[in-house]
Amino acid sequence: MTKRRVEDFLPLKPQWFHILLALAGEEQHGYGIMQEVLERTMGKVRLWPATLYGSLKRMIEAELIEESSKRPRPELDDARRRYYRLTSLGRQVLDAECERLQGLVHAIQTKRRMVTG
Amino acid sequence: MKRSQRVYERLARAFPHEFKLAHGDEMLETGEAAMAYLEKRRGWTGMARLLADAAVRLPLEYLSEMRSDLRYAMRALIKSPGFALVGILSMGLAIGLTTNVYSCNWALLTRPMQGVAHASRLVMAEKPVSYFYVESYREQKSVFAGVAAFQTGVPFNVRVPGAEDGKQQRIFGQLVSPDYFQVMGLDAERGRLLSPAMDRAGDAPTAVISDKFWRMRLGSRSDAVGLVLRVNGQAVTIVGITSRGFEGAFPAESASELFVPVTAPAAVAPELANDVLHRRNAREFLALALLAPNVTPAQAESAIDGVTRRLDANDPSAPPQTDKAKRVRFLPAGTRVPIPPELKRALEGFFGLLMSIVIVIACMNLGTMLMARGANRRKEFAIRMSIGASRFRLARQLMSEGLLLSLLGGLLGFGLAYLLNVLNVQLHQAVDAPGIPDLSVDWRAALFAFVAALVCGVGLSVAPALRAARSELTPALKEGSAMQLPGHRRFGLRNLAMTAQLAGSLMLLLITGFVLVGFARGYQVQANFDPKTMAMASIDPVRDGETPEKALDLFSKLPQRLKDSGKFSSIALTTLPPFATVDDDDSEQLTVDDPRAAQRVQQPAIKESVGSGFFAALDEPMLSGREFNDADERSLMEPAPADAARMLPLVINETAAKKLFGSTNVIGKHLRDRSHGYEVVGVVHDLKSGMGIKQAIAYVAVSRDDFARPPAAGITILARTRAGVNGVEAVRDVVSGLDSKLVLFHVETLSEQLAMSRRGIRSAMLTYGGIGGFGLILSAIGLAGVTAYAVAQRKREIGIRMALGANKGQVLRLVLREGITLIAMGTLLGFAGAALVSKALEAVTSVLADALAMGTNDPRLLVGAPALLAALALVACYVPARAAVRIDPLKALRTE
């Protein structure tokens, strides 16, 4: 398969965006991602398990994330869990999506000023 | 909540293997954790969301797996392009060819005529009846919504105003009752069609022209409606143009361009002379009926049987009242060819069978190739299994390869069917063949072929897939493809496949060959002279506007004028060109007129009117007696005497003589038909022509009636030219010198005419030859595939044999011996199958029976076809066997 460009992924699917965002800080396992997204959105966005793992599988195929070989300390580790991290393409896509969203916010603010101003 | 947990677990386990391998445990863990939380906080709605999420993702994951399967299959196929190409080509050719052949025939058999409403309710009586009968049928309002009468193939000499040379053209059309178009349910493209209210006897002559007439002969001129044509010398006004593509009822018999109402005066159409509309025994019209809704043809036949019997009671020529057979038989008239239902079923069966054989062979090819490939890829499968691929996964992989091959083959097939179709249409347009409908790919046939290909592609890849999935890993990983030394199974799958392949191909080749050779032989004409030296031209003075008396006078002078020109060695007149094919339907019952005979001998024979010197012109010596001479002809030129006892001279052919009298020594014997008594004056050899070589033919001398009212083909002048003379031009000169008004038509040499008549055969040959040749290609591919597979399987065995000291020759013999046994078995089965099928075909259709009867004893086929196949099969065995002896024994033995 030919390598896909950053623009091909934009606009990013919401659940993909949340997953990338969750992995931006640190490597995470699936359940961790779910929890992080839930907390960050204050319970508004829940990634249901099948959707979550389906997305992870596709994102690995799209080379946005990859499995990490680093494991936490043995007393915290669960052998069944896999940990994921961003690839450089994933990071670029996340950056590009953030920029797009910022642009959107900017546009909204300009509009609002025009309406109220 | 225990139950929802169980449901979730079950759903999670149902996910594809690859998905579970990567995320299965985690998904279960995450689900359980979420469940505990959801139970507390959100109750059953949260639970429902969780389960719904899993249920929705499940099929999506499978689809995504399939996509990657197909992608992988595509890569695998690209890596072995030879295999892919052969597989796709054979599938594509099979689908394309069968779809095309079936579409064409299907169109002929079942496609409703263009522009005709209620085509399915339209029927046509098989035998002609008189106009009076049609009027009586019309009264049966409970079974018929309408009944019209028509005569088809009626010639008209037409002069179009403003035509360049002012010449007349001979155009074929129909005489129709004024309600004809209403019964058909046809609309006018322009103007109006005929109707009983508008077209009455005594009105100024009118006609409706076909769309083709308007386009081809009138150049689509806008003032066509209202235009006055000269039809057979009379002024006739065009009142309307039929809708596009309409060529009259029964277009297979004759495509009609001009529709003249029967209310027209006899001067416009001599067929209407002699009060033909009111004479009860003038059986000259075909009845076209629109069945009332929900009435079947059989019901209609029964309903009018009584009526017909009552009418027949007044007609001495009708069958006796004791005859129990139904008087009227209806054929479907809404399609281009009125084929009786039982024949239609037989023909459909024939084409269905051919189609199935082709598809089955192609599918078997694919199956054996997939099997061979599967055997050669055991190592790959073993490696994939050892790193975690499931057996199911591998089986799915092979099946997706089969699916992909079938899909690609199907696409190619559609393309090919379309292309063949375009070619076909162009071919038909080029020759302007009558009765050829708008050919387009029939979607039902295409769908059938495609589905068959898909089912076979997937189905046949299951066997090798399962076999591959059963592989034991260790030996497969070690070296080659064959694990256990496969026992030599006489009736193993592979041997059966090869035998079936051979038998199927031979059957296809033989059946198509029989039909082909039969057709070719049936149409083989053996003239005793060079057909280039015979000029032929037809004239029809009556339709050129001459009176019958003038026409008679013309015909009495014409032969002498031609002779006087000094350019011809012999001359004859006839109503039917020699070697033309005649329908068995046109035959008449002849009865031996012998008062001493214990029982009446009856025999149907085809009646042809020929002039004096006809057989001499054809260089055909008389077997006994004499042919017609000028005296016979002159005596027949007199008005028919009232004396019914007068014996007319008759010449019969060999077949007729043998069938009637059991010998050819029959000069002076008496015969009679419905209207005349005859005395046999000569016996002639069977002219070698037509499908039925053994047709009984009775020749009568051309008479006053023939000249006064020539048949559709006109009166044909046969003129054998002397060397270096352009016969056609010479005839033209003489005729125009005699009467400049006369139009010559069908002007050609005999060789040109023969070439024309062979065109239909050529197209049939193309079709059947195509199918047969295709079967050959397919079987070659299949045989190569099967033997390659066999050798691949026996690689190790061959290696061991060679390590133990067998030399190359011995190994080759081993492989070839097995091949020969299989070939012999396949050949036997193929012969048996072909014999069975051709017997069955002969039983159901007389059309194919004639061809088959002539084709089945052709030695070229009986020896050639199996020899060709066997040679192919041997080559297919030899090539992989050669490869096998080059196997390195060490490599083959390493698995030990």
Segments making up each domain of chain A, as ranges: 11-116
Tokens of B103: 């579409």
The DSSP code sequence of B370-391 is: HHHHHHHTHHHHHHHHHTT--H
User: Bigger pLDDT: B698 or B426?
Assistant: B698
Q: Is the confidence at residue B319, as pLDDT, over 70? A: no
Cβ contacts of B23 on chain A, cutoff 8 Å: 30, 53, 56-57, 82
Structure tokens at B378: 């055991």
- What is the nearest CA distance from B3 to chain A, expressed in angstroms? 18
What one-letter code names the amino acid at B697? I
Cβ-Cβ contacts under 8 Å, A53 against chain B: 19, 22-23, 26-27, 30
Element (H, E) at B672: strand B670-672
B717-734 pLDDT, tens digit each: 888 887 777 888 888 888
Residue with the larger pLDDT of the pair A36 and B420: A36
Q: At residue B772, does pLDDT exceed 70?
A: yes
Q: Write down the pLDDT at residue B639.
A: 65
pLDDT at A108 over 90: yes
Per-residue pLDDT of B51-62, as tens digits, reads: 899 999 999 988
Contact B472, B483 (CB under 8 A): yes
Per-residue pLDDT of B507-534, as tens digits, reads 888 887 877 777 666 666 666 777 788 8
pLDDT tens-digit series, residues B837-854: 877 777 665 556 666 666
Rounded CA-CA distance B86/A14 in Å is: 46
Would the pLDDT of B102 be above 50?
yes
3-state secondary structure B873-889: HHHHHHHHHHHHHCCCH
Confidence class for position B692, pLDDT limits 50, 70, 90 = very low
Q: Highest-confidence range of B295-309, B643-657, B758-772, by mean pLDDT?
A: B295-309
Q: Return the residue in A37, A48, A61 with the most chain B beta carbons within 10 A, the one to mutate for interface testing.
A: A48
Kindly state the tokens that stand for B13: 């386990």
Nearest to B628 by CA among B610, B653, B652, B608: B610
Across chain A, mean pLDDT equals: 87
State whether residue A37 sits within 8 Å of chain B by CB.
Answer: no
pLDDT of residue B353: 77
Rounded Cα distance between B659 and B644, Å, is 26
pLDDT-derived band at B894 (thresholds 50, 70, 90) equals: low
| Res B316: pLDDT | 67
pLDDT value for B240? 93
Task: State the nearest Cα–Cα gap between B107 and chain A, in angstroms.
Answer: 46
Distance CA B284, CA B150 (A): 9
Query: Cα–Cα distance between B144 and B357 in angstroms, integer?
Result: 43
Q: What value does the mean pLDDT take over residues B538-547?
A: 81
Top-level class of domain A11-116 = mainly alpha
Cis check: omega of the bond before B340, within 30 degrees of 0: no
Q: CB distance from A49 to chain B under 8 Å?
A: yes
ipTM (interface pTM): 0.86
Residue with tokens 């508008």: B198
Query: Would you call A48 and B22 a contact, using CB atoms and an 8 Å cutoff?
Result: no
Q: How far apart are the first and last CA of chain B?
A: 57
Taking alpha carbons only, the member of B381, B398, B328 closest to residue B125 is B328
pTM (2 decimals)?
0.63
The region of weakest confidence among B256-260, B557-561, B746-750 is: B746-750
Contacting residues for B431 by C-beta, under 8 A, at least 6 apart: B759
What 3-state class would DSSP assign to B295? Answer: coil
Cα A101 from chain centre: 14
- Cα separation, B544 vs B745, whole angstroms: 12
Kindly report the CA angle at B807 between B802 and B811, in degrees rounded to 5? 75
What's the whole-number mean pLDDT along residues B384-400? 78
Given this model, what pLDDT does residue A117 score? 63
Give me the percent of chain B exceeding a pLDDT of 70.
83
Which of B19, B34, B56 has the CB atom closest to A57's CB atom? B19
**CB distance A80–B25 less than 8 Å?**
yes
pLDDT at B177: 93
Decide: A7 and A100 in contact? Cβ < 8 Å.
no
Nearest to A49 among B30, B56, B60 (CB): B30
A56: closest chain B residue by CA: B23
The answer to whether the CB atoms of A50 and B19 lie below 8 A apart is no
Q: Which of B11, B27, B50 sits opposite A53 (nearest CB)?
A: B27
pLDDT digits (tens, 9 = 90+) for A96-106: 999 999 999 99
* CA–CA–CA angle B205, B207, B213 (5° rounding): 145
In chain A, which residue's Cα lies nearest the Cα of B31?
A49
Least CB-CB distance to A50: which of B22, B25, B57? Answer: B57
B76: its two tokens: 């695998």
A81 and B CB contact within 8 Å: yes
Chain B residues in contact with A34 by the CB 8 A cut-off are: 30, 34
Q: What is the pLDDT of residue B162?
A: 72
| Burial bucket for residue B583 (CB in 10 Å: 0-12, 13-18, 19+) | exposed
Query: What's at B599, amino acid-wise?
Result: Q
Nearest residue on chain B to A58, alpha-carbon basis: B64
pLDDT band at B484 (very low <50, low <70, confident <90, very high): very low
> Which pLDDT value is given to residue B522?
61
Cβ within 8 Å, pair B27-A58: no
Q: What is the pLDDT of residue B364?
A: 76
For position B241, what pLDDT does the model report? 93
CA torsion B661→B666→B670→B675, rounded to 10°? 80
Q: Is A106 on the interface with B (CB under 8 A)?
A: no
pLDDT number for residue B436: 46
Nearest to B772 by CA among B410, B483, B405, B357: B357
Residue B259, pLDDT above cutoff 90:
yes
